[in-house]
Chains A and B, each alone.
Chain A
């Protein structure tokens, strides 16, 4: 019986391209008025997406990352859940004590989440937050100003997601660990939308892991997260990409910072997910703002990990610091595109960017592009980029002291990643990431 249903779905899938299917479904939902208060926003977003379509490699932002083969495959827009999956446990971080939030195929799971009352903290499925004041204020306020067509598509037709509000003056005692599980028995295109609001003087740590159920079919997630960091708030934000090969991700994270706030992003990808595209845009929207973006991508097989970041200095006296490291094995590809804007108003900006690459696989590739656009005249901006390989002299030196070749490589990878890992605010996560780096090394 199940087989027949699946077969039926397959037929509708193959008859319509993903594009047509998405436009049709979004249009139907809008005309039936099921999304209520968001209808107008969604309609406009749908028009924007229709005008842009899926990007091709002719688009500069997608030059090295061909999305076409992925979006030209058939998907269902409804997940077929896999029962009894405990895949979220793959995201367990040893010794981490955290509030757990599990999202299965984009849906909040109260069963798997720790689901406890924490004073000053609101966590709920995004569809329950539509009527909240801060939702109305910040939803689509910044992300939809970008020209990423996947944001427009997401706004038009996201089906689920997460809303987090850390109240004014609230300092969370434990990190929030959000686990995104891909666990659909059919090929699934998911669209989730998150909004995190850090109230004034709030402090929190959000760790997001991406995992795949072993029984899951291929999937493509279009994931948009908007983050508002209000005055004097501090947010430490980790992305830990440890999903399976059949999972593919388009993640857009748009951060807007107010005066005296701090936002740190630690973006780590490991062998697994075949396709990962992260857009991380930080808007330093007022003066005295500090932002740090750290990244490690250790890739293997034929994986592609593309990190596109924008650091947008809009006001004076802000500081940003960005350091990305890529290690490519086998035939994998890593892309780093780091754009820094220093707007006319943003005098006394201090912006730093560094990208280092280690090509291990002889047929692996790295594309890296720093892009600085500076309109203010009293600023300090520096950027650098290196591409190298394993240092054979260092390798021999370590081996000549009795250290095995495998262990020597691990030491050298740790050494390479050290500039980034040493900046991790959370020591437990740092150890976990170092362990993943060891495991991911062949």
Chain B
């Protein structure tokens, strides 16, 4: 589904990703781990199309389509979803209106008619239940006044509503207490199917106790320096990132 080859990216002329390769197949969950500053969040942002990041080399294909050619909105319409590390508060834009606009623009892109109001509200109800997100959304502005945990749950709720092919979770676990973490993870697990895939970016192993990955990759200095199964995460937890740094830098 997702195929990243030799990806180089920089921010303000500082090279961050330095030849990253990654293959993700439908139905798989990949965890990207790594020390701070290794380029984890850059990867998520580059895939979503944030303009501050410049791709200097390499390619990214989603089901054969060149993602890097597309605007952020077209990537989303093709099925890329980035759950933000820091979801933005937008006062004056209602949660519901935002979701309806997003959903219908994605549907229009696929040649589908807009959802009927009732159908839409049923879907909101169903998905809120699925991800255990009970915040009152009607008449509330997007993320405004939400706690850190509510914001992250709102990201997963949006993911559930928009049903992307590829969900990228950018440190969704940061700032969450253990209950919120379990709820978020549970939501993601419910949304896993054989047709979609997840890339879970995290600093800590603890999220991976709940979202069990098929593969774990260690990102260091802009490249994937080690790949393995979920046991690699445990090993990392035990030995720390210094172990990686030492073996790579040596």
- Report which of B49, B50, B73, B141 forms a contact with A403, defined as CB distance below 8 A: B73
A400 touches B49 (CB 8 A): yes
Contacts of B92 in A (CB 8 A): 414-419
State in angstroms the CA–CA spacing of A404 and B102 once bound together.
Answer: 9
- Report which of B76, B91, B105 forms a contact with A400, defined as CB distance below 8 A: B76
- A401-417 interface mask toward B, CB cutoff 8 Å, 1 = contact, 0 = none? 11111011001101111
Contacts of A393 in B (CB 8 A): 88
For the complex, is A396 an interface residue (Cβ under 8 Å from B)? Answer: yes
For the complex, is B51 an interface residue (Cβ under 8 Å from A)? Answer: yes
Q: Shortest beta-carbon distance, A255 to chain B, in Å?
A: 29
- B73-103 interface mask toward A, CB cutoff 8 Å, 1 = contact, 0 = none? 1011100011010011011110001100111
With known contacts A411-B93, A411-B101, A414-B93, A399–B72 Cβ distance under 8 A? yes
Contacts of B50 in A (CB 8 A): 396
Contacts of A419 in B (CB 8 A): 92
State in angstroms the CA–CA spacing of A107 and B93 once bound together.
Answer: 43
Contacts of B90 in A (CB 8 A): 391, 394, 397-398, 411-412, 415
State in angstroms the CA–CA spacing of A397 and B242 once bound together.
Answer: 34
For the complex, is B16 an interface residue (Cβ under 8 Å from A)? Answer: no
Q: Shortest beta-carbon distance, B25 to chain A, in Å?
A: 24
With known contacts A399-B71, A399-B73, A404-B73, A412–B162 Cβ distance under 8 A? no
Contacts of B73 in A (CB 8 A): 399-400, 402-405, 408
State in angstroms the CA–CA spacing of A417 and B92 once bound together.
Answer: 8
Contacts of A404 in B (CB 8 A): 73, 105
Contacts of B97 in A (CB 8 A): 411
State in angstroms the CA–CA spacing of A418 and B92 once bound together.
Answer: 6
State in angstroms the CA–CA spacing of A421 and B127 once bound together.
Answer: 31
Instruction: Please give me the residue from chain A that is nearest to B101 by CB atom.
Output: A403
State in angstroms the CA–CA spacing of A414 and B142 once bound together.
Answer: 13
A401 touches B162 (CB 8 A): yes
Contacts of A402 in B (CB 8 A): 73, 76-77, 102-103, 105-106, 109, 162
Q: Shortest beta-carbon distance, A404 to chain B, in Å?
A: 5
Q: Shortest beta-carbon distance, B92 to chain A, in Å?
A: 3
- Report which of B76, B91, B141 forms a contact with A401, defined as CB distance below 8 A: B76
State in angstroms the CA–CA spacing of A394 and B144 once bound together.
Answer: 12
- B99-118 interface mask toward A, CB cutoff 8 Å, 1 = contact, 0 = none? 00111011001000000000
B162 touches A397 (CB 8 A): no
- Report which of B71, B91, B98 forms a contact with A398, defined as CB distance below 8 A: B98
B72 touches A400 (CB 8 A): yes
Contacts of A411 in B (CB 8 A): 90, 93, 97-98, 101
State in angstroms the CA–CA spacing of A415 and B94 once bound together.
Answer: 9
Instruction: Please give me the residue from chain A that is nearest to B88 by CB atom.
Output: A397
For the complex, is B200 an interface residue (Cβ under 8 Å from A)? Answer: no
State in angstroms the CA–CA spacing of A397 and B49 once bound together.
Answer: 11
A394 touches B88 (CB 8 A): yes
State in angstroms the CA–CA spacing of A399 and B90 once bound together.
Answer: 13
State in angstroms the CA–CA spacing of A238 and B22 once bound together.
Answer: 59
State in angstroms the CA–CA spacing of A394 and B98 once bound together.
Answer: 12
In this complex, which of A397, A398, A415 has the most chain B Cβ atoms within 10 angstroms of its Cβ? A397
Q: Shortest beta-carbon distance, B156 to chain A, in Å?
A: 13
With known contacts A402-B73, A405-B73, A411-B98, A397–B105 Cβ distance under 8 A? no
State in angstroms the CA–CA spacing of A15 and B88 once bound together.
Answer: 62
A415 touches B101 (CB 8 A): no
A396 touches B51 (CB 8 A): yes
Contacts of A407 in B (CB 8 A): 101, 105
Contacts of B93 in A (CB 8 A): 398, 411-412, 414-415
Instruction: Please give me the residue from chain B that is nearest to A408 by CB atom.
Output: B73
With known contacts A400-B82, A407-B101, A415–B91 Cβ distance under 8 A? yes
State in angstroms the CA–CA spacing of A29 and B29 once bound together.
Answer: 88
A397 touches B87 (CB 8 A): yes
- B51-84 interface mask toward A, CB cutoff 8 Å, 1 = contact, 0 = none? 1000000000000000000011101110001101
With known contacts A394-B88, A397-B88, A411-B93, A403–B51 Cβ distance under 8 A? no
State in angstroms the CA–CA spacing of A396 and B85 once bound together.
Answer: 13
**What are 20 A-B pairs with beta-carbon distances under 8 A?**
A391-B88, A393-B88, A396-B50, A398-B90, A398-B93, A398-B98, A399-B72, A400-B49, A400-B72, A400-B84, A401-B81, A402-B103, A403-B98, A403-B105, A411-B97, A411-B98, A411-B101, A414-B93, A415-B90, A418-B92
**7 cross-chain pairs, A with B, having the tightest CB-CB distances, nearest first:** A415-B92, A402-B76, A418-B92, A401-B102, A399-B72, A402-B106, A397-B88
A residues bordering B, Cβ < 8 Å? Answer: 391, 393-394, 396-405, 407-408, 411-412, 414-419
Q: A398-B102, A407-B101, A412-B93 are in contact. List 17 more A-B contacts (CB 8 A).
A: A391-B88, A396-B50, A398-B93, A399-B49, A400-B48, A400-B84, A401-B98, A401-B162, A402-B73, A402-B77, A402-B102, A402-B106, A403-B102, A411-B98, A411-B101, A412-B90, A418-B91
